[in-house]
Amino acid sequence: MLMKYYIYDMKDIDIWQDMQRQALATKTEGLTEPEMKAYGYDFVFGAIGKVPARPQTDAEMEVFKLKTETLIALLPTTAQKLKKLDKGPAVALSNYKSFLIKKYNVVSKGYYTSIWMSLGVAMGVSFGVAMKNIALGIPVGIGIGLAIGGGLQRKAEKEGRVI
């Protein structure tokens, strides 16, 4: 069955994007770069720009808007810097990233490299144990993981799927 995609009123999308970017800018005033990175501000900002350009139905776009607005509301401001025990925004950001990866096939920078490098280490350790030389297996596994992950990362960048 073919899905029917709708062309949105781009003026409405542009207005929504500007409002969300302004909300993020308000929240980031006074935050340091590491804090902004930890809370995922750059990822959310990039998603606001990339995801509406992908083909989707009106209902899917509304779900994306709702999830984005909810996440922005949860992100802390300078006055509300989170205590280490408050996991709400971190969990919400993780769920948001998972949603975007599954639904829109967009990933954050370094996603494939980190996944494949850790898989490479695991394969390298098992290879090292089998060869009775773990010290040799780990670097070999890291190299293989970096090669595969780097290739997938470059492919995603060429396709415009990296936020």
> How far apart (Å, rounded) are the C-alpha atoms in residues 51 and 92?
18
> How far apart (Å, rounded) are the C-alpha atoms in residues 79 and 87?
17
Question: Is the full-model pTM beyond 0.85?
Answer: no
Give the C-alpha distances (Å, rounded to integers) separating 27 from 6, 23, 81, 91, 128. 32, 6, 11, 18, 48
Torsion of CA 145, 146, 151, 155, to 10 degrees: 100
Please provide residue 162's backbone torsions phi and psi, each rounded to the nearest 5 degrees: -100, 130
Give the C-alpha distances (Å, rounded to integers) separating 149 from 18, 99, 142, 143, 159. 34, 21, 10, 10, 15
Tokens matching residue 30: 């006074």
Spans of all domains in the chain: 10-104, 111-158
Please provide residue 37's backbone torsions phi and psi, each rounded to the nearest 5 degrees: -70, -40
pLDDT score recorded for residue 5 = 46
> How far apart (Å, rounded) are the C-alpha atoms in residues 91 and 25?
21
Per-residue pLDDT of the chain (163 residues; tens, 9 = 90+): 444 444 456 678 889 999 999 998 888 887 888 888 888 888 999 999 888 877 778 888 889 999 999 999 888 776 566 555 467 788 889 999 999 999 998 999 999 999 999 999 999 999 899 988 888 999 999 999 999 999 999 999 999 899 8
